[in-house]
Amino acid sequence: MKKLLTILTLCTLVITSVFAKSALVNLVTNVEEVEVSYDLYYNDSNIADGTTDFAINILSPLNEGGNTNPFRLVATSNMNKDLAINVDVTPHSFKTTINEGSEVVDSAITPEVNVLLPMSILPAGKNDNETVYVFVLSWTGKDNLVAGDYVSNVDIEYTIN
């Protein structure tokens, strides 16, 4: 009886597998790539929002050492490849004018760039307001400076591509 039951079960499996069908279905969809967007911030101010000049008032006088708060480069992307980050910061020496603006005096004090977070690659994947580069500017003061308002122009160029 057991033999007969085993034979019937095997026959049923063979007959079922002969008539059974299967299929593999692939569901295909996509997520659109959004171009990387990035901005430069100082404190909470977006300093790259179309303005060409941004003034930072430094509290310490130039005859003392000083530094800025951090500058932050922030990026958003969903790209599926790594992107290169390039940042070039070029500070110029502090200058003032004397004799009612007719002469320019160069202090010979040029701010130094101190990089705190030097990422060179924005990794592939979802990045939402990711801080990718941080730097501060600092300088050492001098005692023998003429009185006046000093300005150091700082060129900041940055790309992510």
Residue 93 — very low, low, confident or very high, per pLDDT cuts 50/70/90?
Answer: very high
**Burial label, 128 (beta-carbon count in 10 A; 0-12, 13-18, 19+):** exposed
Integer-rounded Cα Rg, in Å, for the chain is: 32
Domain membership flag for residue 28? no
The vertex-148 CA angle with 146 and 150, nearest 5°, equals: 100
Domain membership flag for residue 32? no
Q: Dihedrals φ, ψ of 10, to 5°?
A: -65, -40
Give the Å distances, CA to CA, from 123 to 75, 85, 86, 130, 151. Answer: 11, 10, 14, 10, 37
Structural domain tally of the chain? 1
Mean pLDDT over residues 91-101, rounded?
95
Domain membership flag for residue 22? no
Domain membership flag for residue 25? no
Mean pLDDT over residues 20-33, rounded?
92
Mean pLDDT over residues 36-64, rounded?
84
Residue 60 — very low, low, confident or very high, per pLDDT cuts 50/70/90?
Answer: confident
Domain membership flag for residue 20? no
Domain membership flag for residue 62? yes
pLDDT at 22: 87
Task: Give the residue numbers spanning the domain of 122.
Answer: 37-160
- pLDDT of residue 18 exceeding 60: yes
- pLDDT of residue 51 exceeding 60: no
Domain membership flag for residue 21? no
pLDDT at 59: 85
Please state, for a pLDDT cut of 90, what percent of the chain lies above it. 72
Mean pLDDT over residues 100-106, rounded?
94
Mean pLDDT of the chain: 89
Domain membership flag for residue 124? yes
